[in-house]
Amino acid sequence: MKRTFLTLLLALAIGGMAAQQTSITAPADYFGFEPGTDRKLFTYEKLISYLRQLDEESSRIKLEKIGETPMGKPMYIAFISSEENIGNLDALRKINRELALNPELDDAELQKLVEQGRVFLLATLSMHASEVGPAQAAALVAHEFASTTDRKKLSWLDHVVYMMVPSHNPDGMEMIVEYYNEHLGTPYEGASLPRVYHKYVGHNNNRDFLSLTQEDNRAISRITSHTWFPQVMVEKHQMGSTGTRYFVPPNHDPIAENVPAGIFQWIGVFGQHMATDMTLDGLSGVSQHYLFDNYWPGSTETCIWKNVIGFLTEAASVQTATPIYVEPTELRVGGKGLSEYKKSTNMLMPWEGGWWRLGDIVKYELASTRSIIKTASIYREEILGFRNRMCREQVKLGRSEPPYYYILPLKQHDPGELVNLVNLMQDHGVDLFTLDKEVELEGRLYREGDIVIPLAQPFRPFIKEVMETQEFPERHYTPGGELIRPYDITSWSLPLHRHVVSHEVRTRSESLEGSLEPVAGSFSLFEEPGNGSLLLLPVNINESFRVAFHALHLGFEVERLRQSLTDGESVYGKGSFLVRSDNRKQDRWEELLEGIHFSPGWIGEGAEPDSEPLQVPRIALVETHFHDMDAGWTRYIFDSYHIPFTVLHPEQFKETDLSGTFDVILFPDTDKPVLMTGKQQSGGEYYLGSYHSDFVKGMDKEGFEKLMEFSDRGGIILAWGRSGRLFEGILKIKRGEEEEEFQLPFRDLSPDLAKSGLYIPGSLVKLDLVRDHPLTLGMPEQIGVFSRGRPIFRTSVPLFDTDRRVIGTYPEKDLLLSGYASEEEKMGNTAAIIWMRKGRGQFVLYGFNPQFRASTQAAFKLLFNGLLLHRME
């Protein structure tokens, strides 16, 4: 072949560049295998140390710590871009911030920022740790862009800063990889982890982006709300094995009403480029408008309410890293958007079945990532301009269209939850203010100190979404046809879920806007201790329970009021807590006070309130091995409220001295067959999950006998959701040779009501509470509870030594507070929470999850009071 002078020069130039990049360690050399190889996985630590090495070897990569996980592991972003951009990150970050938050830029300023700015593209990988592909592909993506000499890719890096969070869930990644490697080569290779792949919440880590309860999620949320303000975000997941191979946006209906059209259009642009590029690469089975909707906030994509072009991708799974063979007859579709596994507008090139490997997932991930970076590069100017346009439009809307403000009075049933809500909104990047004088608006008087959230802010869609009441957008597949059902829950209103009063103001007021003081830093209503030395914690405040348990934990004496106490203008309800300070424990006393953000009461030492010592009950929390997220959330609540507990697995019942060890046994929401046998049940048939046989165990008959014996000896049983079924029908107590059969005086109506049309996918409904029962201490007369339409109780007149009390009732009509429900009046005037007794044993059954995803603070006290019920002697 004849070489021209030009090609020779080019070859020399490329040779020179290649030589410069040969010092970049390839993943295969570092890990000892090519990422994506069958049955080979590296750990989180290995991945980070590889990225650290690339950070040293390449001027295109910078690793930065962004926070810590719930189990204390450091979390990182790897910034991947051109050498120039990496050297200029601070200046670029300032541009991002201006574009995101400054509505006053003039055209020339905006033009300049758009010229100088880069698209920041955040990718969060494998938050669901069992979905290993994206995090394993991360090493290849980083290496490819650190070492590429391809002119096109280099030009993408000139325009784009790729911000890769190599694992959104490092704790889970460590657990999954370790467990997989332990079982490699055994019959249980690829078995599911027999616990949640996170300290607490497992898969529900993608349901936490409103409440921000988990440390790893807070680290990710800070990136979009406080520190980097990326314009584009993608979360990378895997889905089932036998459906389409890959999902890219757009999502299916319903879509969020508050998110502007432009965001969805841009999401579609990225999706369409991915579908096109991946199909050109010969990757079949890419689907769009399928399964996933864009309606509910709470996933990592919650940033689309904050003007970020955010979306997810999903690859078909293998068995962790073990390949699978899918018979063509096994291919199927579910959910919405595809009714047949056939070539169609939502899946143009179906995958035909056969072997599917980790290497395939990695290949699809690389193609998808390249396409997203390329698209961000192609539209750099438009995307940067769009971000600032969103900011300006939202601020303008907030000034021209109601609602204009949400106002939260300081005077609340539970002021502690007001404080928590204010701090949560600040974490979300929302500006809050206090009134510096009285203002009258729409016939209501607002007082100095009340909290104001104006809607004229860049994150207006978010504020409106979380502060208003949810109305589900009813859409149908065909006119008058079947309703498109929601993918997840339908209610998340932060004030309603917390029983915090919030007024939506639809009139603009100059007087109000001239009376606002910014809330700066952490918000607190705590005042320095007065003269008294007895700390009084009002029972109406959730945080009082936290402080009381904390005080016990720190070694202080805590008492509970047996009668309400009036001190000046303050009334402390029955059940309020009293903590006695102790000079010998000054440090711990200060630690205790530091954790109080509401205004407690103080009374003098001489006062002798009618109180009794608070005993810490010995609590067993029942958690199954099967990714038991509801139990995980309960552990989270207990840990964060300093409530001591022991996890009890169902199969441990038979060998545990339950009545000698515990006072309270708590069953979160789990299927009865799973609790009893460890097996799942569907349509009357039992089936085995993907777990190692060591864990497929339940209470069995012997364990349940132990549980009944526990109750017979005065134990307290709390259960909610499906677990309540354990106690329906004929039960039996064994006392030596003697056996007694009995029945608790209740029935679950929900299966019949569901058949007759009641449907509640996860909504907030009204609950009326009785006033004179220990379970309702500190509760208002009515709250909203989070219901999924089951169970729903009817009690009956008790026989013999059983008893019952209906603690909470769904009202006769107008039940729905927020979200979707059909034929909800069918549950009107039924029991939602019942207390029952058999001999000395007490049972509390909840028809709702009182701690649902740590987001239903209105009902928390119904749980705490249950834990603190007195044993019957």
Cis amide leading into 791 (omega within 30): yes
Q: What is the closest distance, in whole angstroms, from the C-beta atom of residue 177 to Zn ion in the complex?
A: 17
Residues 124-153 that bind Zn ion (CB under 5 A): 128, 131
Q: Which is nearer to Zn ion, 131 or 663 (CB)?
A: 131
Half-sphere exposure of 254 (CA within 13 A, CB side): 21
**C-alpha 175: how far from chain center:** 20
Residue among 131 and 360 whose Cβ is closer to Zn ion = 131
Nearer to Zn ion, 301 or 651 (CB): 301
- CB-based contact 532:439 (threshold 8 Å): no
Closer CB to Zn ion, 186 or 690, in the complex = 690
Would you call 543 exposed, middle or buried from its count of C-beta atoms within 10 A (0-12, 13-18, 19+)? buried
With a CB cutoff of 8 Å and minimum separation 6, the contacts of 837 are: 801, 802, 803, 804, 843, 872
x/- site string to Zn ion, residues 185 to 224, per CB under 5 A?
----------------------------------------
Binding to Zn ion, residues 279-338 (CB under 5 A) = none
The span of 235-243, 279-287, 377-385, 712-720 binding Zn ion (CB under 5 A) equals 235-243
Which residues within the stretch 477-516 sit at the binding site for Zn ion (CB under 5 A)? none
Nearest Cα neighbor of 110 from 381, 469, 398 is: 381
Cβ(819)–Cβ(490) under 8 Å? yes
In the complex, the smallest distance separating the C-beta of residue 131 from Zn ion, rounded to whole angstroms, is 5
Nearer to Zn ion, 128 or 273 (CB): 128
* Backbone angles phi and psi of 359, in degrees to 5: -60, -35
Least separation in angstroms between CB 237 and Zn ion: 3
Of 716, 713, 709, 748, the C-alpha closest to 732 is 709
Of the two residues 133 and 715, which places its CB atom closer to Zn ion in the complex? 133
CB nearer to Zn ion: pick between 131 and 559: 131
Query: At its nearest, how many Å lie between Zn ion and the CB of residue 312?
Result: 8
Structure tokens at 701: 């008959």
- For the beta carbon of residue 392, count every other beta carbon within 10 angstroms: 15
The least CB distance from residue 128 to Zn ion, in Å, is 3
Query: How buried is 630 (Cβ within 10 angstroms: 0-12 exposed, 13-18 middle, 19+ buried)?
Result: buried
Minimum distance from residue 788 beta carbon to Zn ion (Å): 21
Helices (H) and strands (E) counted in the chain, each on its own, are 25, 42
CB of 235 to Zn ion, least distance (A): 8
Contact residues for 277 (Cβ-Cβ < 8 A; gap 6+):
367, 370, 371, 374
Smaller CB separation from Zn ion, 231 or 317 = 317
Query: Between residues 69 and 238, which has the closer beta carbon with respect to Zn ion?
Result: 238
Residue 165 C-beta: closest distance to Zn ion, Å? 14
Q: In which residue are the tokens 């590889």 written? A: 50
The residues in 576-595 that bind Zn ion, with binding defined as CB under 5 A, are: none
CB of 131 or CB of 431, closer to Zn ion:
131
Compute the C-alpha angle 471/474/475, nearest 5°: 150
Q: Report the DSSP beta bridge partners of residue 444.
A: 441
| Minimum CB distance to Zn ion smaller for 369 or for 412 | 369
Q: Which of residues 73-132 bind Zn ion (CB under 5 A)?
A: 128, 131
CA neighbor of 297 nearest in space, from 488, 453, 128, 425: 488
DSSP per position, 279-312: HHTT---EE-S-S-EE----SGGGGGGGT-EEEE
Looking at beta carbons only, is 180 or 860 nearer to Zn ion?
180
Query: Does residue 237 touch Zn ion according to CB under 5 A?
Result: yes
| Contact track, Zn ion, 668-697, x by CB under 5 A | ------------------------------
**Cα–Cα distances in Å, from 140 out to 95, 129, 519?**
30, 18, 45
Q: Under rule CB under 5 A, how many of the chain's residues touch Zn ion?
A: 3
Which of 229, 260, 255, 265 minimizes the C-alpha distance to 390?
260
Q: Enumerate residues 380-419 that contact Zn ion by CB under 5 A.
A: none
Binding mask 739-778 for Zn ion (x = CB under 5 A): ----------------------------------------
How far apart are CB 475 and Zn ion at their closest, in Å?
A: 25
* Joined tokens for residue 612: 């009794």
Q: Is 729 helix (H, G, I), strand (E, B) or coil?
A: coil
Where does this chain touch Zn ion (CB under 5 A) — which range of 233-241, 260-268, 422-430, 446-454? 233-241
Minimum CB distance to Zn ion, residue 318 (Å)? 14
Q: Is 428 in the site for Zn ion (CB under 5 A)?
A: no
Nearer to Zn ion, 315 or 775 (CB): 315
C-alpha torsion sign, points 412, 416, 417, 423: positive
- Return the number of the residue (235 or 669) whose C-beta is nearest Zn ion: 235
Q: Which of 762, 720, 724 is nearest to 746 (CA)?
A: 724
Supply the minimum distance, in Å, between the C-beta of residue 168 and Zn ion.
10
Q: What tokens appear for 625 in the block?
A: 């091995």
Closer Cβ to Zn ion, 60 or 237, answer by number: 237
What is d(CA 869, CA 66) in angstroms, rounded to the nearest whole number? 43
Distance, in Å, from the CA atom of 255 to the CA atom of 564, rounded to the nearest integer, reads: 49
Residues at the contact surface with Zn ion, assessed by CB under 5 A: 128, 131, 237
